[in-house]
Amino acid sequence: MSLRVLTGIKPTGVPHLGNYVGAIRPAVVASTLPGAESFFFLADYHALISTQDPVRVQRSTLEIAASWIACGLDPDQVAFYRQSDIPETTELTWLLTCVAGKGLLNRAHAYKAAVDRNRAEGMDEDAGVTAGLYMYPVLMAADILLFNAHRVPVGRDQVQHIEMARDFAQRFNHLYGEHFTLPEAAIEEQVATLPGLDGRKMSKSYDNVIPLFAPREELRRLVFSILTDSRLPGEPKDTEGSALFQLYQAFASAGETEAMRRAFADGIAWSEAKTQLFERIDAELAPLRERYQALVADPAGIERVLRRGGERLRDAHARPFLARLREAVGLRDLSLAPGRDAQAGDVEAKPALPVFKQYREADGRFHFKLVDGDRLLLQGDGFESPRDAGRVVAMLRSGAAAPRVDAAGRVWLDDAAVGVLGEGVDDDALLRALDRFAEDAA
Ligand code: TRP
């Protein structure tokens, strides 16, 4: 199975250059690389938590969908869909809600911040806090777990949500068998933060943004309003700390950036530097702007694209997966109830599968074990990263690589030792347990 990378996009207004450079452009590039399956969706259920203006939800969904397509996201190459077109998301949210620790949700940053604000103002703790805000992390976990995504690229502020998703998945797996992949946050450390017009980070809350699809003349005006110092033409200028230079760098090749660095040292006039910056940005954005205008002018076209993306995923993944999960938790066809005389064609209730558990030890390493009921079948070694441990678990589960057991009870995959048999377990018992995963999948 290839690596599944999943990203949720909250539909809130038209993006600005900072969103483009920091998030959209790198994600679109990554989605074209081989070896990964990309899922992008518009998190419109999530939008309802922060806005109760229906027209705004609709408009933002259109604009954000059009923005991503205009920036090169290819809906035929990636899964591109609208969260609310996959109602299995909400059904899974409920299944996860019933294993989610309330105490864990109490500690979610967004909820805690709201409570802290209320306390500071001497109000009731939960004043104005909806259960939607409180449940935000569970809905987000459902987005991720529904497609068994391996990796979720997010900013630092979202890491806690991914850890919660892992927690819910683990609890569910523990209770009902291995259904969910434990997702990992891919934190975008080196993502460029772009300076805004005033030199601070470009952000709507600072009112210093350049809208991504600003018409050419507005773009020119905004670029010319970028804050610079008062050095005159001919005076050498600092690239360090120059918003203008950083913006240029985000759009220029290495060679062009070097030339601009020299021009700064040689005392280029600010107006000339701004002209060059403006032309450089416009060269990249003009075709995107044109595509964007065409796309928003055809909402029915965007609607079709999103529906098609959603339907494909429902058929291929969401519906069958939810059917399996319903069965696992006991939302079952009563005519197949255990205890009734089995008839031809009836499905027998299967005994619970052995379970792989992954966890982190005090030594900081990532371990796994395979247990069948109370019995420890295999104690895995510690690995550097959860991904390494996950890979071994996936190999063992898939039956793709047959493990070998040596005389000392160590378990090997190819030529790597991965763990040791549990007390009193022989290699036969281990292999039989692993076979059950393959039978279950068949
Ligand atoms: N919470 C994310 C944000 O604010 C958006 C989001 C919703 C998301 N569901 C997700 C991101 C699932 C990644 C995976 O940006």
> Running DSSP on this structure, what letter comes out for residue 272?
H
User: Is the per-residue pLDDT at 339 higher than 80?
Assistant: no
Question: What is the pLDDT at residue 1?
Answer: 61
- Compute the average pLDDT of residues 119-146: 97
Q: What is the pLDDT of residue 438?
A: 76
Residue 343 has pLDDT above 60, yes or no: no
Sequence spans of domains, the chain: 3-193+298-322, 213-295, 355-441
Is the pLDDT score of 30 beyond 60? yes
Where do we find the tokens 């379970």? 355
Mean pLDDT across 387-401: 84
- Two tokens, residue 167: 């927690």
Tell me which of 143, 151, 204 to substitute to probe ligand 1's pocket, judged by most ligand atoms within 8 Å of the beta carbon.
143
Instruction: Look at residue 134 in the predicted model and tell me its pLDDT.
Output: 97
281 lines ligand 1 (CB under 6 A): no
- Percent of the chain past pLDDT 70, that is, above it, reads 96
Is-same-fold flag (213-295; 355-441)?
Answer: no
Whether pLDDT at 82 is above 80: yes
pLDDT at 147: 98
Separation of CA 40 and ligand 1 centre (Å): 10
Q: Of the given ranges (67-76, 174-183, 274-283, 397-406), which has the lowest mean pLDDT? A: 397-406
Q: Is 117 in the pocket of ligand 1 (CB under 6 A)?
A: no
Q: Which of 61, 68, 139, 158 to mutate to test the pocket of ligand 1 (most atoms within 8 A of CB)?
A: 158
Phi first, then psi: give them for residue 206, nearest 5 degrees. Answer: -95, -5
Q: Could you tell me the distance, in angstroms and rounded to a whole number, from the CA of residue 131 to the centre of ligand 1?
A: 18
Q: In this structure, what DSSP letter does residue 150 have?
A: S
Residue 347 is predicted with a pLDDT of 53
Among protein residues, the one whose CA lies closest to atom 4 of ligand 1: 10
State in words which class domain 213-295 has: mainly alpha
How far is the centre of ligand 1, averaged over its atoms, from the C-alpha of 344 (Å)? 46
pLDDT at position 29 is: 93
What's the pLDDT band for 348 if we cut at 50, 70, 90? low
Mean pLDDT for 288-311 is: 98
Q: With contact defined as beta carbons under 8 Å apart, do 213 and 289 qualify?
A: yes
C-alpha distances (whole Å) from 56 to each of 10, 47, 53, 94 are: 12, 10, 5, 27
**CB neighbours (10 Å) of residue 171?**
17
Give the residue among 191, 144, 149, 185 at the shortest CA–CA distance from 36: 149
| Structure tokens given for 37 | 């399956």
Closest Cα to atom 12 of ligand 1: 8
Give the model's confidence band at 162: pLDDT under 50 very low, under 70 low, under 90 confident, else very high: very high
CA of 41 to the centre of ligand 1 (A): 9
Q: pLDDT tens for residues 46-59? A: 999 999 999 999 99
Q: Rounding to the nearest 10 degrees, give the CA dihedral for residues 89, 93, 94, 96.
A: 130
CATH number of the domain located at residue range(s) 3-193+298-322 in this protein: 3.40.50.620
Distance (Å) from CA 389 to ligand 1 centroid? 25
Q: What is the pLDDT of residue 57?
A: 96
pLDDT digits (tens, 9 = 90+) for 250-281: 999 999 999 999 999 999 999 999 999 999 99
Q: Using one digit for the tens of pLDDT, what is the confidence trace for 350-376?
A: 677 889 998 888 888 989 999 988 889
**The CATH number of the domain covering residues in 355-441:** 3.30.160.160
Give 413 or 345, the one with higher predicted confidence.
Answer: 413
State the Cα torsion 154-303-133-103 to the nearest 10°.
Answer: -60
